[in-house]
Structures are given as C-alpha cells and as structure tokens.
Amino acid sequence: MHNISSIKLLNIPKVHDERGSLAVIEKEVLPFDIKRIYYLYDVPSDSYRGGHAHREQESVIIALSGSFEVTIDNGECRERIMLNKPTQGLYIPTHIWREIDNFSSGAVCLVLASTEYNEDEYIRDYNTFKINF
Ligand code: TYD
C-alpha cells in the first residue's frame, strides 16, 4: 500500500515580469517522463471526475485555471486537497484512488501522465481497489 505521504505537491518554477507569468515544467520538476497530456475544461461545477486508481500510471494534476478539489485515498486514509495555483502540481503515484470535484467556473484541470492511455490499467471499482491495495 502506498503511504499517503508519497503524494506530493510539486512547485513548478515560474518567470514573472510586468508582462505576466510563465511557468516551466522541465524534466527535473517531475518524477517521471511525460507520455501523455490531457485536460478537463468546460466542467460543470457539480461534476464529479476521476473515481479510479491506476496500476501503472503516475500523474501530476495542475489547476491551470480556476480551482477544484482532489480527494486522494490509499485504501486506508483519505485527504482532500484544493488546487488553485498554476505553479502547483499534485503528484499521484500508482495505486492511489482519486476523485475530483468542486470545480470553479472556468476551471482547467491539466493532467501530465507517465503512460499512454490504456483502459486495462485502470481500477474503476472502489471495492476492487480496496481489496487489492
Ligand atoms: P475518464 O477516465 O472517465 O475521465 P476522468 O478520470 O477525468 O473522470 O475518461 C472519460 C472518457 O475519456 C473515457 O471514455 C475514456 C476517455 N479517455 C481517452 O480516450 N483517453 C484518455 O487519455 C483519457 C484520460 C480518457
């Protein structure tokens, strides 16, 4: 079972001047190589996303715009984390259940993933997750 403390908030370096801010994700910021990027947008505020764990995929979740809450669960304990800064990335290792809700208007949820999309490595049933991990 993964310790809940293996879930980390990563600081994404930024360059700020009077023209605005620019954040950079380079190799040393992430604990894995990015294989895929996807993002959630136009999300209704009462939407519930996630509701799964991964056998193989590690991810970093970033609130590129707006805010939302991520519930993380290692099968023993749960934590709820508000993401609302584009310079903060929530690193989630394998075998962690995650749920995302409470989306603000205009929220964009960026996900950097360590694997290509493969439905077979998803665990979408909470009881299966609990039994196995
Ligand atoms: P889903 O895993 O339910 O999204 P979330 O975890 O954000 O709630 O995925 C929604 C749909 O999109 C589902 O049919 C699978 C598909 N999908 C892809 O085709 N490729 C991808 O990279 C992802 C993440 C999802």
pLDDT of residue 1: 62
Atom 23 in ligand 1: residue holding the nearest Cα: 117
- Provide mean pLDDT across the span 67-96: 97
Average pLDDT, rounded, for the chain: 95
pLDDT beyond 90 at 79 = yes
Task: Please state, in angstroms and rounded to a whole number, the distance separating the CA atoms of residues 42 and 106.
Answer: 7
Contact 110 CB / ligand 1 (< 6 Å): no
Contact 2 CB / ligand 1 (< 6 Å): no
Atom 19 in ligand 1: residue holding the nearest Cα: 117
pTM of structure: 0.96
Gap from CA of 125 to ligand 1 centroid (Å): 15
More confident residue, 132 or 39: 39
Per-residue pLDDT tens digits for 29-54:
999 999 999 999 999 999 999 999 99
pLDDT of residue 4: 78
Gap from CA of 19 to ligand 1 centroid (Å): 35
- Provide mean pLDDT across the span 87-107: 97
52 is catalytic: yes
pLDDT of residue 6: 83
CA atoms in the 13 A half-sphere facing the CB of 79: 14
- Provide mean pLDDT across the span 17-23: 98
> Residue 102: CB partners within 8 Å, gap ≥ 6?
45, 67, 68, 69, 82
